[in-house]
């Protein structure tokens, strides 16, 4: 039984990693084929680093992911604090239902619905190329918000309400009671929400495809237009680099988490 | 806390409420508006009437979505169980390994499957070394389903695993003590207790599978048009926003109905199972 379950797990992981391994191996291919190996070379990495359009797209993606996740985290945390004060009832469940919409709706519907709004408003104010960085930012903040709210809300529920009151009784103003008492206790939720928002925004293709324009290309959009033609191994090289950096980040994050757990155990 | 300061705290949510009305609710109203108007903005039922033509596409999308969801469930359930039985440290590593592929661009992963499945691709040239004739895999229904299963499998594993990791082991032991053999324990005890995870996994796989457009184009070679493909073409090629809006409206309503049915099986309304 033990061997069977190990073999099963191994098979599933082979399935999950097969295309990624193929991609990494072929990024070192000396010819431009993505199915026949002809030798080892680093030329595709060189091509990649000299390709300004791709680097520009990478830069755009990072700018968008950072700004949208920061805005979503601030707006979303404030929203969660406010929503937490609402008692169970119609206003609260109404807000929660709307919050769930971007998560439940297919991404393509979220994308085209916002595109319709932007195009309509664009026509009203007579701007032809309305789709660009601004619309992408609005779209990304919108689909990031629910994830921030839904990771912060449970933390707020776990926080002892009496703590904030105690702080106020001890002479704190409500605002400073919030920043000194409530905020530190919900911080883990805020950080998780922000990381989630950041990675979602980094990786988003479908919504960006409909709400972005030719003036501001993100990496997934650039990859999409390349896969319309034949993909050359430089795209594989790029993905291999992204894979390795995410792997490193995750390992670091895990080590940090383990250390902080050990610390809290010692206390 | 007195009611005045509570009201003030509630007000902190107002920027978000304004934002969500502007960018979540209003866009959906625009979908409805575009569905019932023509290019000049006049009221019409034309787009709704034109939908009949797309019934086979809708049915195919739903069918493919169901197939992909069932296969994901069959693969994910045992794996989630296996992971949840490991020590905490091993669990964390395995969970990381499950989530890692999700952070790679799904476009590249799908493209990489093309390289694997092609008639002269990696799998077939590998088989050829053993004298096995090439198998035709790309541009088939199976390839599209495989693409869906591959891309969305982690969404099924994660919620099921996170419910199983929190399962009360004394309950499982009680079940065994009462004379249940392995299968009975799984059927009567573990499956019912992990139901919330299964339900959220099913919705998290079904919704993107039904509405996908890239996977079917790349792995289906254009012969398995899904509803997502049709919608995408209305917006990016033929610029018929009104027809595209009405197709999206139907897709949205279909999925809402599926969700409503699924939600009857699970109770939790707030918070995520991730």
* pLDDT above 80 (res B90): yes
Q: Which of A107, A59, A68, A58 is nearest to A193 (CA)?
A: A68
Domain ranges of chain A: 1-41+232-267, 53-229
CA–CA gap between residue B65 and residue B203 (Å, rounded): 10
CA–CA gap between residue B113 and residue A217 (Å, rounded): 25
More reliable by pLDDT, A89 or B2: A89
Ordered domains of chain B (ranges, CATH):
54-263 (1.10.3720.10)
Say yes or no for a CB contact (<8 Å) between A85 and B210: no
CA–CA gap between residue A177 and residue A167 (Å, rounded): 6
- Residue B1, pLDDT score: 45
CA–CA gap between residue B225 and residue A235 (Å, rounded): 27
Residue B37 pairs with which residues in a beta bridge?
B43
Handedness of CA B105, A136, A216, A62 (dihedral sign): negative
Percent of chain B predicted with pLDDT > 90: 52
- Residue B3, pLDDT score: 58
Say yes or no for a CB contact (<8 Å) between A161 and B26: no
Say yes or no for a CB contact (<8 Å) between B271 and A154: yes
Residues in B touching A9 (Cβ below 8 Å): 79, 82-83, 94
Buried b (16+ CB within 10 A) or exposed e, B114-126: bbbbbeebbbbee
Strand, coil or helix: B43: strand
Say yes or no for a CB contact (<8 Å) between B103 and A12: no
* pLDDT above 70 (res B269): no
Total-model pTM:
0.89
Residues in B touching A142 (Cβ below 8 Å): 19-20, 23-24
**Domain A53-229: CATH architecture, name and number where available:** Orthogonal Bundle (1.10)
Q: How far is A13 from chain B (nearest CA, A)?
A: 8
- Residue B5, pLDDT score: 66
Residues in A touching B40 (Cβ below 8 Å): none
- pLDDT range class, residue B39, cuts 50, 70, 90: confident
CA distances from B190 to A12, B76, B78, B99, B175 (A): 21, 14, 11, 23, 10
More reliable by pLDDT, A23 or B179: A23
Residues in A touching B116 (Cβ below 8 Å): 18-19, 22
Say yes or no for a CB contact (<8 Å) between A246 and B244: no
Say yes or no for a CB contact (<8 Å) between A105 and B255: yes
- Residue contacts between A and B (CB atoms, under 8 Å): 223
Strand, coil or helix: B53: helix
- pLDDT range class, residue B34, cuts 50, 70, 90: very high
Test the A interface: residue of B23, B91, B207 with most A CBs within 10 Å: B23
Block mean pLDDT (10 aa), chain A, length 267: 90 95 91 82 90 91 96 96 88 91 92 95 87 95 96 90 84 84 90 91 94 91 84 85 88 84 74
Say yes or no for a CB contact (<8 Å) between A86 and B34: no
Residues in A touching B21 (Cβ below 8 Å): 98
Q: How far is B35 from chain A (nearest CA, A)?
A: 11
Say yes or no for a CB contact (<8 Å) between B103 and A151: no
Say yes or no for a CB contact (<8 Å) between A224 and B15: no
Q: For residue A230, with 0-12 CB atoms within 10 Å meaning exposed, 13-18 middle and 19 or more buried, which class applies?
A: exposed
Residues in B touching A107 (Cβ below 8 Å): 208, 211
């Amino acid at each position: 039984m033990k061997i069977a379950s190990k073999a099963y797990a191994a098979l599933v992981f082979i399935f999950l990693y097969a295309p990624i391994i193929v991609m990494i191996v072929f990024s070192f291919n000396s010819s431009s084929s993505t199915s026949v190996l002809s030798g080892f070379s680093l030329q595709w990495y060189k091509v990649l680093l000299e390709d300004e359009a791709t680097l520009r797209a990478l830069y755009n993606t990072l700018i968008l992911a950072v700004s949208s996740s920061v805005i979503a985290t601030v707006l979303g945390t404030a929203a969660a604090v406010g929503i937490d004060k609402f008692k169970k009832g119609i206003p609260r469940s109404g807000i929660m239902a709307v919050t769930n919409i971007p998560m439940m709706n297919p991404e393509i519907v979220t994308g085209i619905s916002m595109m319709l709004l932007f195009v309509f408003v664009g026509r009203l104010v007579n701007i032809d190329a309305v789709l660009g960085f601004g619309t992408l930012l609005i779209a990304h903040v919108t689909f990031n918000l629910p994830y921030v709210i839904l990771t912060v809300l449970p933390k707020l529920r776990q926080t002892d309400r009496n703590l904030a009151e105690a702080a106020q009784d001890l002479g704190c103003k409500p605002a400073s009671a919030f920043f000194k008492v409530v905020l530190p206790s919900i911080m883990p939720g805020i950080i998780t929400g922000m990381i989630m928002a950041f990675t979602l925004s980094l990786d988003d293709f479908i919504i960006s495809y409909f709400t972005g324009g030719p003036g501001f290309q993100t990496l997934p959009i650039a990859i999409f237009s390349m896969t319309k033609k034949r993909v050359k191994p430089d795209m594989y090289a790029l993905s291999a680099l992204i894979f390795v950096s995410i792997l490193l980040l995750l390992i670091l994050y895990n080590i940090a988490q383990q250390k902080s757990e050990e610390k809290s155990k010692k206390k | 806390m007195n009611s005045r300061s509570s009201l003030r705290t509630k007000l902190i949510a107002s920027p978000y409420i304004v934002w969500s009305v502007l960018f979540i609710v209003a866009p959906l109203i625009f979908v409805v508006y575009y569905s019932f108007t023509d290019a000049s903005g006049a009221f019409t039922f034309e787009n709704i009437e034109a939908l009949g033509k797309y019934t086979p596409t809708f049915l195919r999308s739903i069918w493919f979505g169901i197939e992909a969801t069932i296969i994901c469930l069959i693969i994910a359930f045992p794996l989630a169980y296996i992971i949840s039985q490991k020590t905490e440290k091993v669990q964390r590593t395995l969970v990381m390994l499950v989530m890692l592929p999700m952070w790679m661009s799904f476009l590249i992963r799908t493209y990489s499957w093309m390289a694997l499945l092609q008639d002269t691709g990696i799998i077939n040239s590998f088989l050829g070394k053993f004298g096995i004739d090439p198998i035709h895999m790309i541009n088939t229904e199976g390839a599209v389903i495989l693409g869906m299963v591959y891309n969305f499998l982690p969404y099924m594993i994660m919620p099921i695993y996170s419910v199983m990791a929190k399962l009360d082991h004394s309950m499982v032991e009680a079940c065994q003590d009462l004379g249940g053999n392995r299968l009975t324990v799984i059927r009567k005890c573990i499956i019912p207790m992990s139901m919330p995870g299964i339900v959220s996994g099913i919705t998290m796989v079904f919704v993107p599978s039904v509405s996908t457009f890239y996977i079917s184009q790349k792995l289906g070679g254009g012969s398995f048009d899904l509803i997502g493909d049709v919608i995408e073409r209305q917006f990016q090629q033929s610029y018929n926003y009104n027809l595209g809006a009405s197709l999206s409206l139907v897709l949205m309503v279909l999925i809402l109905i599926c969700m409503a049915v699924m939600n009857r099986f699970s109770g939790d309304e707030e918070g995520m199972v991730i």
